[in-house]
Amino acid sequence: MKGNQMSYNNILFTVEDGIATITFNRPKSLNAMNYETMSELLDVATVCKNDENVKVLILTGAGEKAFVAGADISQMQDMRPAEALSFMELGNETMRFIETMPKPSIAAVNGYALGGGNEIALACDVRFASENALFGQPEISLGMMPGWGGTLRLPRLIGMGRAKELIMGGAHIDAKRAYEIGLVNRVLPADQLMAEARKFAAKLAGLPGFALKMIKHSVNFGYDLALDNAIRLEVESCALCFSTGDQKEGMKAFLEKRKPAFTGR
């Protein structure tokens, strides 16, 4: 580790002003995810979770063509079922870790987000896409199916019928269509993608971290609970925000008609 830079073989990692940027960096294979890259992603996500200087994560891809073009097909081709199982388990563990970690994540999708690439974007809290981004779950054309949460998160995000159409048909869709069906939050010109992702990340980094953590907790875990249990989770998560100085400051500042000075405590 050098200052805020850590070194990985397949991922670039920087932390600046509370924003961790994780860049998948195998541009020659369109940032395809092999086992090592997925292990590095889990490692760097763990570092981000534990580092109090990190408030928000941005995930993106190196080069101009791809976010991530999926799991590495050359590595998967000869896998036996036991090896495939451990690859899919590692991917799912990593996706769930990012999805449930107490810090927000933004996928800045700068090109192909196919298969496992789309699944990584799905595990993030929000997705910004460049106009040239392409999305899809083309696993069916390889004789397999999504294995890092695509059959689970895609229907939750865009509805079952649309998800089945994409996963069964295996077609790519462009950023405009991805926006129409709610797969991405925003579509931006390619040269503005990272600036807009950083702008939103900077905004989140300045907001009360504990309340953000409780929002994520309530949305993520409340979603799959029976409504009465989910309501309980929400009211208790909300009540816990009242243990923070940021809640006192936020309300005091409102009543004094001034901007709040949040401290993250």
73 vs 238, which CB is nearer to ligand CAA? Answer: 73
Shorter beta-carbon distance to ligand CAA: residue 33 or 187: 33
In angstroms, what is the minimal distance from the CB of 192 to ligand CAA? 23
> For binding to ligand CAA (CB under 6 A), which residues are involved?
29-30, 32, 69-74, 91, 112, 114-116, 119, 138-139, 142, 146-148, 150
Least distance to ligand CAA from the beta carbon of 206, Å? 35
Closest distance of CB 166 from ligand CAA, Å: 12
Nearer Cβ to ligand CAA, position 24 or 262?
A: 24
Tell me whether residue 119 is one of the annotated catalytic residues: yes
Q: Which of 64, 119, 196, 249 is catalytic?
A: 119
Answer yes or no: 64 catalytic.
Answer: no
Of residues 68 and 212, the one with the C-beta less far from ligand CAA: 68
**Catalytic member of 16, 139, 165, 196:** 139
DSSP conformation letters of the chain: -BTTBEE-SSEEEEEETTEEEEEE--GGGTT-B-HHHHHHHHHHHHHHHH-TT--EEEEEESSSSEEE--B-HHHHTT--HHHHHHHHHHHHHHHHHHHHSSS-EEEEE-SEEETHHHHHHHHSSEEEEETT-EEE-GGGGGT----SSHHHHHHHHH-HHHHHHHHHH---EEHHHHHHTTS-SEEE-GGGHHHHHHHHHHHHHTS-HHHHHHHHHHHHHHHTS-HHHHHHHHHHHHHHHTTSHHHHHHHHHHHTTS-------
Q: Tell me how far, at minimum, the Cβ of 118 lies from ligand CAA, in Å.
A: 8
Catalytic residues: 119, 139
